[in-house]
């Protein structure tokens, strides 16, 4: 009885290895593309940012999205530094969307920050409670209300064409963001050439 089970297990394992070898020989490019499409350092979410202003953005370009307060003492300056560094590396191949969480009459702080560090960045002012609630629902792990104010995690999101959702990073993950943009760009070029 044990020999039969052992023999059947060995046969099943051999057939599985044979099937894998046939797949690798017959379709090596397809398996490589699938692997590259899934290999990102950031956390792949199912979240999509749905805002009417985003419809005006070219859809063939990746965008980094983050929320900022003009008076933020720590997380926002670190995020802006990361975004400015990536803007230098990618030039016109990368766009930026800043969600301004400043409410009230003065909305110039984030806009001035964007013009200084990220010329050409789109700034979405979440100045109406309904807009802010909508954004908080779309990116729930990034924002949380606390006693009359809003805290945010400082996450940076990569919105890449044809991805199932936003890819989430911490501001400290500058190299991971850079690597993932290059990997996704290479994968996209390979798909276009085949």
pTM value? 0.71
pLDDT tens, per residue, the chain with 194 residues = 677 887 887 787 777 666 656 555 544 444 334 444 456 888 888 887 776 667 777 777 899 988 887 777 778 888 888 899 999 998 888 999 888 876 655 567 777 778 878 888 888 776 656 766 677 777 766 766 666 666 777 889 998 887 878 888 977 788 999 999 998 888 878 777 76
11-40 burial string, b = 16+ CB within 10 Å, else e?
A: eeeeeeeeeeeeeeeeeeeeeeeeebbeeb
End-to-end CA distance of the chain: 51
The arrangement of secondary structure in 43-193, i.e. its CATH architecture, is 3-Layer(aba) Sandwich (3.40)
- Binding-site residue positions for Cu cation: 72, 76, 152
Evaluate whether 124 touches 114 at the Cβ level (below 8 Å). no
- Binding-site residue positions: 72, 76, 152
């Amino acid at each position: 009885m044990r020999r039969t089970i052992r023999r059947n297990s060995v046969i099943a394992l051999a057939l599985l290895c044979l099937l894998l070898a046939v797949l690798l020989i017959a379709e090596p490019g397809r398996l490589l593309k699938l692997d590259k499409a899934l290999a990102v350092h950031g956390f792949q979410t199912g979240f999509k940012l749905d805002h009417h202003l985003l419809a005006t953005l070219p859809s063939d370009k990746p965008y980094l999205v983050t929320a900022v307060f003009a008076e933020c003492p720590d997380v926002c300056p670190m995020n802006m530094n990361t975004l400015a560094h990536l803007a230098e590396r990618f030039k016109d191949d990368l766009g930026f969307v800043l969600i301004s969480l400043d409410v009230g009459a003065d909305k110039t702080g984030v806009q001035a920050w964007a013009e200084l560090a990220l010329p050409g960045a789109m700034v979405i002012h979440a100045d109406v409670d309904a807009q802010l609630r909508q954004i908080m629902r779309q990116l729930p792990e990034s924002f949380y209300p606390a006693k009359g104010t809003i805290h945010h995690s400082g996450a940076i999101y990569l919105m890449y064409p044809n991805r199932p959702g936003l890819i989430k990073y911490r501001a400290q993950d500058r190299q991971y963001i850079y690597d993932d943009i290059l990997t996704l760009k290479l994968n996209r070029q390979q798909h276009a050439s085949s």
